[in-house]
Structure 1
Amino acid sequence: MRFSRIFSGLIVLFAFTLEAKASVTLPRVLGHNMVLQREKPVCIWGTAAGGERITVAFSGQRKETVTDNSGNWKIYLDPMPASSEGSQMTITASNTIKLENILVGEVWLCSGQSNMEFTMRKSSKMKRPAVEGQNPVDELNYAKNPDIRIFLVNRKELAKPDSLHRGWNIARDSALRVFSAPAYFFAKELNKHLHVPVGVISSAVPGSAIEPWAPADAFNACAYLKERKVQNDPGKFYTPMIRPLVPFTIKGFLWYQGETNCFLNERLEYTHKMEALIARWRKDWGDKKLPFNFVQIAPFKYSEAKDKTGLTRESLPEFREAQAAALRLPNTGMIVTTDLADNLSDIHPSFKWEIGRRLALVALEKNYGIKNLVSSGPVYKGLKVKGNKIELTFSSIGSGLISKDGKPLSDFLIAGRDKKFVPAQAEIRGDKVIISSALVPVPEAVRFAWVETAQPNLYNKEGLPARPFRTDNILFSQFKPDIKN
């Protein structure tokens, strides 16, 4: 009887040992159909039994490591050129995992709130724009490019291993229907110009403020914020939806968020929150230079919302100013969306295809060094007072300044020393804009697009709208980055 019990115990122990040895698992972001970042060391990681030897083979490379006492392991593949040829990755321990149809190209992490989460299915039901050729509203009917891959983060599942490794999909059919429209159209434009595979990860939550996307210690690292208690659940979405993606190798981040914090009537504190989030994400990925490109939020009647907290018609422009101030941080880019709202009572603008395209333009120029490409509309540079007029100069004028609709320039205000702003006449003269008003004989300051519903017509010839601004801006000069980057 005693021998029988010992023998049975040995069988159980042997079975447990086999199970432990066969326990190699991968994070959910590593799977079939994924895109690996080109021209960078690529991290592959997971868990297994403590002390177990792990081998990763891919594209002619073979790397080995041994798990630590906790069973964690990590290896880096050498940098690889882009490849549209689907390849197999084999991860071997006591068991073997084979991941199929893997490409090498460009990978971006896309995050934010509902306007980033906004699905291709919703996009397919938007008002049809008058365009020649394929209509972006019908993109689901055309999308079949195997070089574009998508990964949709599920906040309840990302941190859990997936034995089927099916998180990535080719951007088409049912998988694309529920995927982020801005992220997809960004990937499509990037692929069109770079001619390499593009993978986009969407990790977004409707209605979310910025605070849940970074942990509390990230905000405490900022001296400005440390003196003010950060609310709105710091880390709530970072922990299940961002942290498990680290250290998957990526090119950069796209960020489309702000509406919730605008409702909270934030200004300079939002700029510092962006600083804290950017610094933390870059620290997590071990790269202080990772690009961070974002969307300046669109026109909307914030001041008419039922739950407004002291909001006025100028609250949105002031919040946009706080967003633009974040451009003082290194390797950041921003797009303007003053022209991308067809219903000023809908906080979800229709034109997500243009959001994606403009984000791609920024990436192509700033992050990929594509020359002879204009990624921004006119940006205020300086002024000169000449008698009863003000002469404005701009950067990013491209091929020249235009009135998009051919009508007199709209949404300019002018004021004298009394700071009483009145509507101004504005006209383009070469690469300058001349501002005046009979009511202001001695002008000092100009504001542009300085109400929440403004949809001005000053563009460059490349079709990109001018950035809202005020020449009496003090916020931009107030923002001094606190976190060493």
Structure 2
Amino acid sequence: MVLQRAPQKSIVWGYSDTENVSIILTINAQVYQTKSFSSNENIWSITLDAESNEGPFELVATQIFSNRSKKSISLRDILFGDVWLCSGQSNMEMSVQKIFNGSIEIANAGKYPKIRLFTVEKRQSIQPEDELLGITLNWSIASVESVGSIYTSAVCWIYGRMIHVELDDHRPIGLIHTSWSESSIELWSPPEVFKDCHMLM
């Protein structure tokens, strides 16, 4: 996975098993602490310090319960770089497989291990959601398999690859693909927009 590099600050959040649980998060020798709250569905959130070092790092989040027992999860190979959201309709959704010279792009994908790919599953909801309803391609290092997946956007991939190559520091690039062919603009708009415009959905 890729988190946003400095000067921006990345936010890490999650759910605890019960309310008012102490959460300790460690990454790059930094230690952060917070608590989950029952008023917010046991959600906890921590804003990391701005990070200029690209990593890779391991992130460990630990729940500490009232009986002093602990439960930890870890995420490895985390990079800090630039994260891009690739969204749209059919032009953005078209996979690398379907473009001119797509086979060359796929064959060369392994040359860019600091580019990471993620694709959101197409799932509808009639209300805003706190988290994704599904994932079709979990965070993956650029490779023949990931770039050659039907779920990897050609526009997104080529854009990210070109940025990675052209920038002097060849920083890590995170590409989050969330497009839906032939979807209407109304489906991408929050409920407040329709209320303000006196429209019904």
Residue equivalent to 1:61: 30
| One-letter amino acid of the counterpart of residue 213, structure 1 | W
Deviation at 1:103, TM superposition (A): 0.5
| Aligned-residue RMSD, C-alpha | 2.2
Deviation at 1:156, TM superposition (A): 3.9
How do 1:8-407 and structure 2 match up within 5 A?
34-39=1-6, 40-48=8-16, 49-69=18-38, 70-83=41-54, 85-93=55-63, 94-123=70-99, 126=100, 137-144=103-110, 145-156=112-123, 159-160=132-133, 167-177=138-148, 178=150, 179-194=152-167, 195-221=170-196, 226=197, 229=199
Instruction: List runs of 5+ in structure 2 lacking aligned partners.
Output: 64-69, 125-130
Deviation at 1:199, TM superposition (A): 0.3
Give the conservation status (yes or no) of the 8 Å contact 1:82–1:197: no
Instruction: List runs of 5+ in structure 1 lacking aligned partners.
Output: 1-33, 127-134, 234-485
Q: Indicate how the Cα distance of structure 1 residues 104 and 167 shifts in structure 2: closer, same or farther if over 3 A, else same.
A: same
Larger Rg: 1
Deviation at 1:218, TM superposition (A): 2.4
Rounded Cα–Cα distance in structure 1 between residues aligned with 2:103 and 2:132? 34
Rounded Cα–Cα distance in structure 2 between residues aligned with 1:219 and 1:137? 43
| One-letter amino acid of the counterpart of residue 44, structure 2 | W
| One-letter amino acid of the counterpart of residue 38, structure 1 | R
Deviation at 1:118, TM superposition (A): 0.7
Q: Structure 1, residues 71-92: CA drift from partner, whole Å, max 9, x if none?
A: 1110011000141x32111111
Give the conservation status (yes or no) of the 8 Å contact 1:81–1:104: yes
Rounded Cα–Cα distance in structure 2 between residues aligned with 1:89 and 1:44? 10
Rounded Cα–Cα distance in structure 1 between residues aligned with 2:72 and 2:134? 15
Aligned length: 179
Q: Structure 1, residues 347-383: CA drift from partner, whole Å, max 9, x if none?
A: xxxxxxxxxxxxxxxxxxxxxxxxxxxxxxxxxxxxx
Rounded Cα–Cα distance in structure 1 between residues aligned with 2:34 and 2:163? 35
Percent identical residues:
31
Q: Which runs of 4+ in 1 moved over 4 A?
A: none
Rounded Cα–Cα distance in structure 2 between residues aligned with 1:183 and 1:82? 24
Q: Which has the higher helix share?
A: 1
Rounded Cα–Cα distance in structure 1 between residues aligned with 2:160 and 2:118? 12
Q: Indicate how the Cα distance of structure 1 residues 161 and 139 shifts in structure 2: closer, same or farther if over 3 A, else same.
A: closer
Rounded Cα–Cα distance in structure 2 between residues aligned with 1:212 and 1:60? 42
Q: Which has the higher strand share?
A: 2
Q: Indicate how the Cα distance of structure 1 residues 161 and 142 shifts in structure 2: closer, same or farther if over 3 A, else same.
A: closer
Q: Indicate how the Cα distance of structure 1 residues 189 and 82 shifts in structure 2: closer, same or farther if over 3 A, else same.
A: farther
TM-score, normalised relative to structure 1 = 0.35
Q: Which has the higher contact order (CA 8 A, sep 6+)?
A: 2
Q: Indicate how the Cα distance of structure 1 residues 161 and 114 shifts in structure 2: closer, same or farther if over 3 A, else same.
A: closer
| One-letter amino acid of the counterpart of residue 165, structure 2 | K
TM-score, normalised relative to structure 2 = 0.81
Rounded Cα–Cα distance in structure 2 between residues aligned with 1:159 and 1:74? 16
Give the conservation status (yes or no) of the 8 Å contact 2:27–2:58: yes
